[in-house]
Structure 1
Amino acid sequence: MTIPLDTTDIVFHSLNNLRATLHFYALNGRKSIWFNNNKPTLRADSLRSFLRNTRYYGLLRNNYHYESIERIIYQPEEALRCEILLTDAFLSIANDLKYGRRLYKDSAPHDSLSIVALQQALEQGRVKKSLHEQEPAFTEYRLLKTALQIAIDTLTAETRQLLLAGVIHDSIATQKEIQLIEVNLERWRRENLTYASRYIFINIPAFTLQVYDANKVMFESRVIVGTPDKQTPELSSSIECISIYPYWHVPQKIIIEEYLPIMQKDTTFLLRNNFEVLDRNGKILRRDSIDWKQFSANYFPVSLRQREGVENSLGVIKFTFDNPYAIYLHDTNAKRLFRNNVRAYSHGCIRLEKAEELAHYLVTGKPEERSKVIARYLQQKKQHIISLEDPMPIYIRYFTCEYANARLTKYTDIYRKDKAIARLLYNSATPVIVE
């Protein structure tokens, strides 16, 4: 069977990856790979088996032509169309397992990698293995897949078949839990970095910071993150220095929206909160020399800086890492808030309960060892910046569940992000019940 490369041919109708499919057959000499004498091969059966069970990977099989393939697979006159659908299905699912289902259709770099995966599958004779190799290598992803398998396999046979067929409905037992797992599997597929062997990981909905070294948690602390209307962003960076007894340079947005109305009514606000007023050259101005009633959102020619000390909003330690959002990881003077289970209170920065302990660890490299340098400056209550010899990678992410120690832990979707991913994952026309 010779594959035509005419895109107007009906066999190329409604493909996910038309360009990649055409390119593959151009490289392959236009030869059929799934059929022999108009009959499906064992290779085709292997791919069909994988597609039948894509729900175990957190994907819906009908996004990959499953019903169409099953309807025509044994009709010789439809062999060409089925050949094309199978190739498109492989390329699509390889893309989705490797990069997630959001943006990657018809993007040349990712198409080429999916074609390589298909070529390797043909050379090795292992279709399923080649698709497995496209999955993320993260331990957390693998554990969530285990949780998903357990959730599906505990259903009755009839309900399990409905689920594998792609039914999304809250009448199915554990459906919300299954969707939650699938949404977070999708998040891991979207990770485009290889994490360092030693790094800081902050999960926003879990309100936790963890330091990993060779996949082992070496340090853990509760954190406070941004409110839903002042969200902590997801980002990757590296902590390069630690500030002891730092100043807090107040962001202009906070000054205008929150502090200016207070200052216009209460001129003692600045003094009581240890703020300095700076002109555009950084010179300190007398607080009582300024008529705040003349200032507005359109006219604010000064800046505010909170002096160092235990009452400073940043606490006594700040961890600096490059990012476009001007956020920090820092200590806090409001320790009582760590007693709450839901801790979304900040303007976007991340407040750390064990800031001093983390500072010692980043300098010494050992959880139980204290740094004499940090201890000295903390005792002296003296402002100082310590540069780390080995900057510590930091990854701030958003995951609403995790599976560890044979237990699925669910976190509050504080920024209401799950449903948007679910709609992309299951298609907008499909009911979505994740909350």
Structure 2
Amino acid sequence: MKKLIRSLLILSIFVASCNWFKKPPLIGKVLSEHFKNKLYTKFDSVIYDSIFVRKRDSFASHFSNPKVLKAFYQLNGNDPVFVTNFFINGQLDTLQRYLGDSGLHGINPKIFQLEEMKVLLTKLTSNKATDLKQIYPVIADLELLSANAYLNYTNYLRYGIVNPRRVVSRYYINVRRPDSAKMMKTLSSVNLADTLAAVQPKSEQYLALQKAFIAAKDVSTKRVLSVNMERRRWQLPNLGTYFVQVNVPDFKLTWFDKLDTLITMKVVVGGKREKNYDEKWKAYKKSGNINDRPKNHETPLLYSKINSIQANPVWNIPVSIAQNEIYWMARKDPYYLSNSNINVYYKGKLLGEPDTINWTRYPSDKLPFKFKQGPGGGNALGKFKFIFDNDFSIYLHDTNNKSGFRLVDRAISHGCVRIENPLDFARLLVNSPYSYDKLRVQVDLPPIDSTHNSWYVKRMAERADTSKVFKMKSSWFGPKKPVPLIITYFTAWYQNNEIQYCPDVYSHDEQIWAAMKKFR
């Protein structure tokens, strides 16, 4: 009896090793039933697997996310998931239709290898194969090209083609990008048609730009629209419906509340960087000479929240301005600092007589001093500084020189954003008649509410008292809740029932267009 059991066990292992009585893989069953062709019942997973792996490895260098695709298929035993699930129900045809229409988004259908996929789908649909050796490579190629095209297409429409933080100079907004977990989830979709429909951009701005792009005949206009459609595909932080936007190339600040505009005003932004900046930067890095360092005052693109207002602000003068401007003005005019209400600090201590400093003893790139301009009429920040967290010492502020707002090209600051109507902006931020009257009095303006006139009378009396030196002091105010702020860059957008355009002041369009080259 034991010998019989042993023999049966050996026989069962042998049969299993030879794949006898093994059910055909699901792809074989699906195709045999669909075509009513018994050929597919002989589908051999081992042979297909070897062909698939070889194809996958050969395609890897041409795929955008080869590691994700490899992980997806390893998880699925290298089965032809897309062909198995989406060939019979026509969803591979749906995928190809979407890919064929990608030109409506400014994306060239050729980058998805659409023509190759069409040929492969036609071969499989024709059901003319007489030997499975003819069909294995067709299924493997169609599977891999479909999965890759589907993944790329959904990524491009969901997140944009390029990562702006890698392409655009001084772009610091944390845009969401596809990660491996998100891409695996996309590849695991049970309905391609639903996913493809869901990733289509649906915002009013995008659809208006797209409509204009489709209708445009002029090549340069289509280019501008294509770049701005790409910007609208980027996944920005959730701003909500109540936020402040500074659009750098339009030199405009707008405060949005849902569909309403609470306020809009002109702004002055950072100056353009020097011509041939990249080449000059390389030369500077090589020489190490501060005088070789090219200037770049472009306002950083960022997202933050306005959390406070400083009335009668102190200007903490940035090192770059101290080295390139303040230092040379002080050398030229020994009374420049005191006349400009600029205090000098050495190791954190205020120097009493900065006019006596012998500036020729110090090279401009190794100054041991820090500079602060006190509050008052000559302060470069004017009467208000609007503060938000960032790593670049950037803020919105008033200015003591209003002439810049009359210019057409207002890219002339050191990087901060000067706003045209700071008092109106402050009123919206504090959002309190009481606080607003307090703020007005601090900058020597009478309150709106006459019951607060005593504050103003006292302030004016202090200023008029010649027996005491009146010292201007900074004071702080804050919004009831921090207000989201985005400093962004659009050269085309939808407004007042038409597309608005503005010049590409920092040449960001050129940077994005160059990065999109192989996709258009």
The two structures have a TM-score, normalised by structure 1, of 0.83
3-state DSSP of counterpart to 1:202: strand
Q: Name the residue aligned to 1:144.
A: 206
Deviation digits for residues 328-362 of structure 1 (CA, Å, limit 9, x no counterpart): 11001111111112100111000000111101100
Separation in structure 2 between the aligned mates of residue 36 and residue 389 of structure 1, nearest angstrom = 57
Separation in structure 2 between the aligned mates of residue 84 and residue 10 of structure 1, nearest angstrom = 8
Q: Name the residue aligned to 1:97.
A: 157
- TM-aligned CA deviation for residue 188 of structure 1: 2.6
Q: Say which of 334, 344, 347 aligns to 1:267.
A: 334
Change (3 A) 1:403 1:327: same
Q: Name the residue aligned to 1:219.
A: 263
Q: Say which of 106, 111, 115 aligns to 2:180.
A: 111
**Unaligned runs of at least 5 residues, structure 2:** 1-26, 28-44, 125-134, 165-175, 274-296, 445-458, 460-471
Q: Name the residue aligned to 1:415.
A: 506
* 1:394 and 2:506 correspond: no
Larger Rg: 2
CA contact (8 A) 2:206 2:232 kept: no
Q: Name the residue aligned to 2:64.
A: 16
3-state DSSP of counterpart to 1:9: helix
CA contact (8 A) 1:262 1:269 kept: yes
Change (3 A) 1:235 1:36: closer
Separation in structure 2 between the aligned mates of residue 242 and residue 5 of structure 1, nearest angstrom = 67
| Amino acid in the other structure paired with 2:483 | M
Deviation digits for residues 269-323 of structure 1 (CA, Å, limit 9, x no counterpart): 2233222222222324213321122121243222222121222100000001111
Query: What percent identity do the matched residue pairs reach?
Result: 25
Separation in structure 1 between the aligned mates of residue 226 and residue 50 of structure 2, nearest angstrom = 36
* 1:81 and 2:141 correspond: yes
Separation in structure 1 between the aligned mates of residue 238 and residue 228 of structure 2, nearest angstrom = 18
| Amino acid in the other structure paired with 1:44 | L
Q: Name the residue aligned to 1:228.
A: 272
Question: What pairs up with 1:184-223 in 2 under 5 angstroms?
Answer: 184-223=228-267
CA contact (8 A) 2:429 2:479 kept: yes
- TM-aligned CA deviation for residue 33 of structure 1: 4.8
Q: Say which of 79, 95, 99 aligns to 1:47.
A: 95
Separation in structure 1 between the aligned mates of residue 255 and residue 85 of structure 2, nearest angstrom = 57
| Amino acid in the other structure paired with 2:68 | A
Deviation digits for residues 74-126 of structure 1 (CA, Å, limit 9, x no counterpart): 1234233122211111111111222222359xx99623323323434x2xx45
**Unaligned runs of at least 5 residues, structure 1:** 156-172, 431-435
Q: Say which of 232, 256, 265 aligns to 2:323.
A: 256
* 1:327 and 2:394 correspond: yes
Deviant stretches of 4+, over 6 Å: 36-40
Separation in structure 1 between the aligned mates of residue 177 and residue 313 of structure 2, nearest angstrom = 47
3-state DSSP of counterpart to 1:205: helix
* 1:69 and 2:120 correspond: no
Between Structure 1 and Structure 2, the one with more helix by share is 2
Separation in structure 1 between the aligned mates of residue 352 and residue 228 of structure 2, nearest angstrom = 51
- TM-aligned CA deviation for residue 26 of structure 1: 4.2
Which deviates further from its counterpart, 327-336 or 9-18? 9-18
| Amino acid in the other structure paired with 2:234 | R
Q: Say which of 336, 360, 375 aligns to 2:440.
A: 375
CA contact (8 A) 1:69 1:82 kept: yes
Separation in structure 1 between the aligned mates of residue 474 and residue 84 of structure 2, nearest angstrom = 76
| Amino acid in the other structure paired with 1:111 | S
- TM-aligned CA deviation for residue 41 of structure 1: 4.7
Change (3 A) 1:288 1:325: same
Separation in structure 2 between the aligned mates of residue 211 and residue 103 of structure 1, nearest angstrom = 27
CA contact (8 A) 2:52 2:140 kept: no
Which deviates further from its counterpart, 329-338 or 382-391? 382-391
CA contact (8 A) 1:21 1:91 kept: no
CA-atom RMSD, angstroms? 2.9
CA contact (8 A) 2:343 2:350 kept: no
Separation in structure 2 between the aligned mates of residue 38 and residue 98 of structure 1, nearest angstrom = 22
- TM-aligned CA deviation for residue 35 of structure 1: 3.8
Separation in structure 2 between the aligned mates of residue 275 and residue 302 of structure 1, nearest angstrom = 12
Query: How many positions carry a matched residue from both structures?
Result: 400
Separation in structure 2 between the aligned mates of residue 82 and residue 317 of structure 1, nearest angstrom = 63
Which deviates further from its counterpart, 14-23 or 344-353? 14-23
Question: What pairs up with 1:301-312 in 2 under 5 angstroms?
Answer: 301-312=368-379
3-state DSSP of counterpart to 1:342: coil
Separation in structure 1 between the aligned mates of residue 53 and residue 84 of structure 2, nearest angstrom = 25
- TM-aligned CA deviation for residue 201 of structure 1: 0.9
Q: Say which of 357, 380, 384 aligns to 2:475.
A: 384
Between Structure 1 and Structure 2, the one with more strand by share is 1
